[in-house]
């Protein structure tokens, strides 16, 4: 965390500290300033302090609360203070294009509210938001629950606008004090407010970390700066952003040895039972917890130290402590990871190799690995764990139980993938060990990076297979990460489809929003308008029927008629903000600003686009009904000839599923459902339709245009649609393919294009029939049979030819200085046959030299072979080289076999004679 300050410390001097006599003190351990009523040795927060609340529980008496009770207590307290309770958002942050997961309650209001574009749904408000953070994925459990991958963040937020102040630092601190002291019964003496600085998501501000008994229970952030290029700029909007750890409150009040025991209650026992493991003795955990608060368990050396201390205190063997503690920590981590995975999957994440899908896979892989290490990874057990979570959280997170079918199906698929990696691991490890001669750090990294084999698996297998001892560097995952370049979290692609100067001119001109006739009446084909701006071939009007490219829908084309009476074609239409720019096929003559124009769009093109656009919504809704709630749009394109829709799904579609999607879509078409486009308030629309609205992407506006097909489908959409599904006519899916891990692409046609598609198929079939000479299907069957026969026959002939060439070659035998030499000139050139024959001959006659000339119009090829016995004396490659040099040509090879290529003009006879001569010369010398 940055210690940068742009504000003086006065911001931390809130009203309450003065009124109630809090003093500002400095922590001798971390140097941070904090406020408390009484003198203290430290700032009261890990790792400066122990888990005091567990070591001396009587000092921190409070009523034990479950997670649900903690949440209720928190929400009700702030409701009584005038905060409106907001329903929690999904853990997958689909409304944001810079984050995958909801990592804090404030994420729910970013960036639309914090940037001032949209007012908050209520002000002030309070929310209990389930959050997911994967930073501590590998060390979950080791801090006994201080770190979790999924947790509920209780946040009360106030948005202070320049003209409307709600409340800020003074009130926030007082609320915190009242909540902890009056509501939870914590003695005020033990409260510590530590001064700190918070930064995140481009915002920053001072904050207080509120710690009690060694546990931070809340963070109170006062977001007031925007960080721009490393500098802080004060924001007009000042936001109270608080985060109360609901699970931590439950832990604190229950004082169980670990947070997991407080959060998961009976589940701790159930998980052990499913895994057939005994629970660690309470005494062991209670002893360990004394050190967990202060030691950083991610530091392996410190962790060893912790175990040693626990062992000596309990009079146990270190190995025993080590085993029991490691095992317990893994089981506890599983409780957290299962919930995290369940929450992500319940929100419809499809595991994949990119985006949030990858994060889901990461959690599942970690979960599987832990189970494998605990000695039992099978689907039945994993499924049981998820079912236990679903049952346990049915009150707070009913969505888990609601999506159990999908969750278990995905777990099954992912487990198979993981097992596949483990199955392949030995072969890959062997290959690496062989290639590199060892398995060092580089090999470990590549094995993990490219093959997904974790280093501990490599070490295990390498020892088992090859007897190799492998050292895993402690900073292994850092090394992996350092291999990858850092890029923006979510890539934004934006290619300008207009020249820069046009965009600049439009922005400078301050032209008001173009009146969208295409929205008011999508059936309007002609219109009159006034020219507002003209730059070269680019024209802006005050109103238009021309739909600009957007939302995956191609733009309209058509004509504009200016006052000179000349029709100019509109070839491209784009948006700059809310201003529509028409690109013409030629420049506009002179100054046309203020002129009246008449426009006409190409109606058939537009109508086809409208039909395909509505069809896309229908297909999406159908896919969701057939496949499940996890189906989201991953991309779409609507063209005149057809459309395509990419959906998230975890396995390839079966033919039956495709047909059911198509049937469902056509039923919706036949039902004749009204397609409504209307403007709604953001929160109203979200409340009514959920985040399904943002299939096509995030919309950062207080009022959004919602296109709905009754209850079947509703999306925030800018496009033009037909008024009734009946107008789509019909839908035909023409292709379904898996384009990426977790993404299936559906291509389809609608309306009259279905007929076009059918005609194309018909024409192709006719063409095939014509070529085959008869009814296509029948002829194809017959021809396939025939082809098989011909192939078999050809094989026989080829065999016969081989034999013939071989026998002719054999007959050509002559003796040159005691060596048998065979020569043959092929009549039907066939390199493959020549090689086969030579191989056969020389293996039967190791004392022979043989050559076959393969004539050709462009070149003359000679394959030369020397039997194993004579190859040393008469190397074939030597012969080829000499001939190439003397006769012109190229050649080479090895001692037993060589190839020579010359110009045909050399002639077969000359070639053969030359080589014979060379053989004679070589043998003459050596004899």
Partner RNA sequence: GGGCCGGUAGCUCAGCCUGGAAGAGCGCUCGGCUUGCAACCGAGAGGCCCCGGGUUCAAAUCCCGGCCGGUCCA
- Provide the binding-site residues for RNA, judged by CB under 7 A: 353-355, 358, 361-362, 365, 417, 421, 424, 427, 431, 434, 446, 448-452, 477, 480-481, 483-489, 491, 493, 738-741, 795, 835, 838-839, 842, 861, 865, 877, 890-894, 896-901
Query: Closest separation between CB of residue 421 and RNA, Å?
Result: 6
Query: Closest separation between CB of residue 123 and RNA, Å?
Result: 32
Query: Closest separation between CB of residue 899 and RNA, Å?
Result: 4
Considering the complex, state which of residue 364 and residue 665 has its C-beta at the smaller distance from RNA: 364
Considering the complex, state which of residue 401 and residue 451 has its C-beta at the smaller distance from RNA: 451
Query: Closest separation between CB of residue 876 and RNA, Å?
Result: 8
Considering the complex, state which of residue 434 and residue 469 has its C-beta at the smaller distance from RNA: 434
Q: Which residues contact 198 (CB under 8 A, 6 or more apart)?
A: 1, 204, 205, 206, 207, 219, 221, 223, 241
Pairing status of strand 848-854 against strand 819-825: parallel
Considering the complex, state which of residue 140 and residue 215 has its C-beta at the smaller distance from RNA: 140
- Per-residue tokens: 365: 């892989």
Query: Closest separation between CB of residue 251 and RNA, Å?
Result: 28
Considering the complex, state which of residue 469 and residue 484 has its C-beta at the smaller distance from RNA: 484
Considering the complex, state which of residue 464 and residue 894 has its C-beta at the smaller distance from RNA: 894
**DSSP 8-state assignment for residue 353:** S
Judge if the upstream peptide bond of residue 124 is cis by omega within 30 degrees of 0.
yes
Query: Closest separation between CB of residue 114 and RNA, Å?
Result: 21
Residue 45 β-bridge partners: 214
Query: Closest separation between CB of residue 485 and RNA, Å?
Result: 5
Considering the complex, state which of residue 491 and residue 773 has its C-beta at the smaller distance from RNA: 491
Does residue 47 contact residue 294 with C-beta atoms inside 8 Å?
Answer: yes
Task: Indicate if the alpha-carbon torsion angle 900, 905, 906, 907 is positive or negative.
Answer: positive
Considering the complex, state which of residue 550 and residue 892 has its C-beta at the smaller distance from RNA: 892
Which of 596, 534, 530, 529 is CA-nearest to residue 563? 596
Considering the complex, state which of residue 529 and residue 647 has its C-beta at the smaller distance from RNA: 647
| Complete DSSP assignment for 90-114 | PSB-TT-SS-SB--SGGGGGTTTTT
State whether residue 592 is helix, strand or coil.
coil
| Complete DSSP assignment for 181-205 | IIIT---GGGEEEEEEEEEETTEEE
Query: Closest separation between CB of residue 762 and RNA, Å?
Result: 27
- Per-residue tokens: 853: 């000339």
796-830 per-residue burial string, b: 16 or more CB within 10 A, e: under 16:
eeeeebbeebbebbbeeeeebeebbbbbbbbeebb
d(CA 200, CA 178): 28
Question: Three-state secondary structure along 263-277?
Answer: HHCHHHHHHHHHCCC
Query: Closest separation between CB of residue 146 and RNA, Å?
Result: 21
d(CA 82, CA 74): 13
Size (the chain), residues: 927
Strand ranges across the sheet with 889-893 = 814-816, 819-825, 848-854, 860-866, 897-902, 889-893
Helices (H), 592-654: 603-627
Considering the complex, state which of residue 41 and residue 844 has its C-beta at the smaller distance from RNA: 844
The C-alpha R_g of the chain, in whole angstroms, comes to 38
Query: Closest separation between CB of residue 799 and RNA, Å?
Result: 10
Query: Closest separation between CB of residue 852 and RNA, Å?
Result: 10
Query: Closest separation between CB of residue 1 and RNA, Å?
Result: 18
Pairing status of strand 515-516 against strand 543-544: parallel
Considering the complex, state which of residue 208 and residue 448 has its C-beta at the smaller distance from RNA: 448
Considering the complex, state which of residue 201 and residue 536 has its C-beta at the smaller distance from RNA: 201
**DSSP 8-state assignment for residue 513:** P
Considering the complex, state which of residue 278 and residue 856 has its C-beta at the smaller distance from RNA: 856
HSE-up of residue 151 (Cα within 13 Å, Cβ side): 31
Report the helix count and the strand count for the chain, using DSSP H and E.
27, 30
Considering the complex, state which of residue 15 and residue 894 has its C-beta at the smaller distance from RNA: 894
Query: Closest separation between CB of residue 358 and RNA, Å?
Result: 4
Query: Closest separation between CB of residue 127 and RNA, Å?
Result: 26
Instruction: State the Cα angle at 807 between 804 and 810, rounded to 5°.
Output: 150
End-to-end CA distance of the chain: 87
Query: Closest separation between CB of residue 13 and RNA, Å?
Result: 37
654-686 per-residue burial string, b: 16 or more CB within 10 A, e: under 16:
eeebbebbbebbbebbeeebebebeebebeebb
Query: Closest separation between CB of residue 362 and RNA, Å?
Result: 5
| Helix/strand/coil percent split, the chain, to 5 | 45, 25, 30
- Per-residue tokens: 550: 């957007």
Considering the complex, state which of residue 362 and residue 408 has its C-beta at the smaller distance from RNA: 362
Q: Which residue has the tokens 């989201």?
A: 632
289-315 per-residue burial string, b: 16 or more CB within 10 A, e: under 16:
bbbbbbbebeeeeebeebbebbbeebe
Considering the complex, state which of residue 434 and residue 815 has its C-beta at the smaller distance from RNA: 434
Considering the complex, state which of residue 115 and residue 831 has its C-beta at the smaller distance from RNA: 831
Query: Closest separation between CB of residue 490 and RNA, Å?
Result: 7
């Amino acid at each position: 965390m940055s210690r940068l300050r742009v504000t003086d410390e006065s911001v931390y001097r809130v009203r309450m500290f003065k009124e109630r006599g809090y003093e500002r003190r400095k922590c001798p351990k971390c140097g941070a300033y904090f406020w408390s009523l009484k003198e203290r040795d430290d700032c009261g927060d890990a790792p400066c302090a122990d888990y005091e609340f567990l070591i001396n529980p009587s000092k921190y008496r409070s009523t034990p609360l479950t997670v649900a009770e903690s949440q209720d207590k928190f929400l009700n307290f702030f409701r009584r203070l005038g905060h409106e309770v907001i329903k929690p958002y999904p853990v997958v942050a689909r409304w944001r294009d810079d984050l995958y997961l909801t990592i804090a309650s404030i994420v729910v209001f970013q960036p639309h509210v914090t940037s001032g574009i949209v007012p908050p749904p209520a002000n002030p408000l309070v929310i209990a938001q389930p959050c997911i953070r994967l930073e501590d994925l590998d060390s979950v459990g080791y801090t006994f629950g201080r770190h979790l991958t999924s947790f509920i963040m209780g946040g009360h937020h106030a948005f202070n606008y320049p003209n409307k102040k709600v409340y800020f630092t003074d009130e926030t601190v007082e609320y915190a004090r009242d909540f902890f002291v009056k509501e939870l019964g914590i003695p005020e003496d033990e409260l510590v407010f530590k001064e700190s600085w918070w930064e995140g998501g481009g915002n920053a501000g001072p904050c207080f970390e509120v710690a009690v008994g060694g546990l931070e229970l809340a963070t109170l952030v006062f977001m007031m700066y925007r960080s721009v290029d490393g500098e802080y700029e004060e924001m007009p909007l000042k936001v109270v952003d608080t985060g109360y750890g609901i699970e931590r409150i439950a832990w604190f009040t229950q004082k169980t040895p670990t947070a997991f025991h407080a959060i998961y209650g009976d589940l701790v026992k159930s998980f052990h039972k499913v895994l057939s493991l005994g629970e660690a003795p309470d005494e062991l955990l209670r002893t360990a917890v004394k050190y967990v608060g202060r030691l950083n368990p991610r530091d392996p050396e410190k962790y060893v130290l912790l175990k040693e201390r626990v062992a000596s205190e309990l009079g146990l063997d270190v190995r025993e402590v080590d085993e029991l503690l490691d095992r317990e920590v893994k089981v506890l981590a599983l409780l957290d990871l299962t919930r995290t995975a369940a929450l992500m999957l319940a929100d419809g994440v499809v595991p994949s190799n990119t985006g949030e899908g990858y994060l889901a896979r990461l959690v599942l892989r970690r979960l599987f690995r832990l189970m494998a290490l605990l000695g039992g990874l099978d689907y039945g057990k994993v499924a049981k764990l998820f079912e236990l979570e679903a049952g346990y959280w049915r009150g707070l997170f009913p969505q888990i139980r609601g999506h159990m079918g999908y969750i278990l199906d995905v777990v099954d698929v992912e487990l198979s993938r993981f097992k596949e990696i483990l199955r392949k691991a030995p072969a890959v490890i062997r290959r690496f060990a062989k290639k590199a001669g060892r398995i060092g750090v580089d090999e470990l990294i590549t094995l993990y990076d490219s093959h997904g084999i974790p280093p501990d698996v490599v070490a295990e297998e390498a020892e088992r297979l090859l007897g190799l001892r492998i050292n895993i560097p402690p900073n292994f995952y850092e090394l992996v990460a350092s291999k990858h370049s850092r890029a923006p979290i979510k890539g934004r692609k934006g290619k300008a489809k207009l020249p820069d100067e046009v965009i600049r001119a439009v922005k400078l001109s301050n032209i008001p929003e173009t009146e969208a006739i295409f929205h008011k009446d999508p059936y309007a084909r002609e219109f009159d308008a006034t020219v507002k701006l003209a730059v070269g071939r680019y024209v802006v009007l005050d109103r238009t029927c021309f739909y600009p490219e957007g939302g995956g829908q191609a733009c309209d084309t058509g004509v504009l008629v200016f006052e000179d009476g000349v029709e100019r074609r509109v070839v491209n239409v784009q948006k700059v903000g809310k201003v529509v720019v028409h690109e013409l096929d030629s420049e506009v003559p002179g100054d046309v600003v203020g002129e009246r124009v008449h426009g006409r769009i190409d109606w058939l093109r537009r109508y086809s686009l409208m039909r395909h656009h509505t069809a896309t919504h229908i297909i999406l809704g159908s896919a969701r009904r057939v496949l499940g709630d996890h189906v989201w749009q991953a991309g779409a394109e609507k063209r005149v000839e057809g459309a395509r829709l990419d959906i998230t799904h975890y396995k390839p579609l079966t033919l039956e599923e495709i047909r059911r999607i198509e049937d469902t879509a056509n039923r919706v078409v036949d039902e004749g459902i009204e397609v409504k486009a209307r403007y709604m308030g953001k929160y109203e629309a979200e409340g009514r339709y959920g985040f399904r609205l943002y299939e096509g992407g995030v919309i950062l506006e207080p009022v959004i245009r919602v296109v709905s097909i009754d209850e079947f489908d509703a999306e925030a959409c800018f496009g033009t649609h037909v008024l009734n599904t009946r107008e789509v006519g019909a839908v035909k899916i023409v292709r379904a393919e898996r384009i990426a891990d977790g993404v299936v692409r559906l291509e389809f046609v609608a309306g009259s294009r279905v007929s076009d598609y059918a005609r194309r198929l018909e024409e192709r079939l006719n063409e095939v029939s014509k070529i085959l000479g008869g009814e296509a299907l029948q002829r194809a069957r017959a021809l396939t049979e025939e082809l098989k026969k011909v192939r078999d026959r050809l094989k026989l002939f080829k065999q016969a030819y081989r034999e013939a060439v071989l026998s002719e070659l054999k007959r050509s035998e002559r003796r040159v200085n005691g060596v048998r030499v065979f020569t043959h000139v092929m009549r039907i050139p066939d390199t493959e046959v020549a090689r086969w024959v030579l191989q056969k001959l020389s293996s039967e006659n190791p004392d022979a030299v043989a050559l076959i000339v393969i004539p050709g119009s462009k070149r003359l090829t000679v394959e030369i072979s020397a039997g194993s016995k004579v190859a040393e004396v008469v190397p074939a490659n030597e012969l080829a080289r000499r001939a190439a040099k003397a006769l012109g040509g190229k050649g080479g090879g090895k001692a037993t076999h060589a190839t020579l290529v010359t110009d045909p003009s050399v002639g077969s006879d000359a070639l053969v004679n030359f080589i014979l001569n060379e053989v004679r010369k070589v043998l003459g010398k050596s004899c």
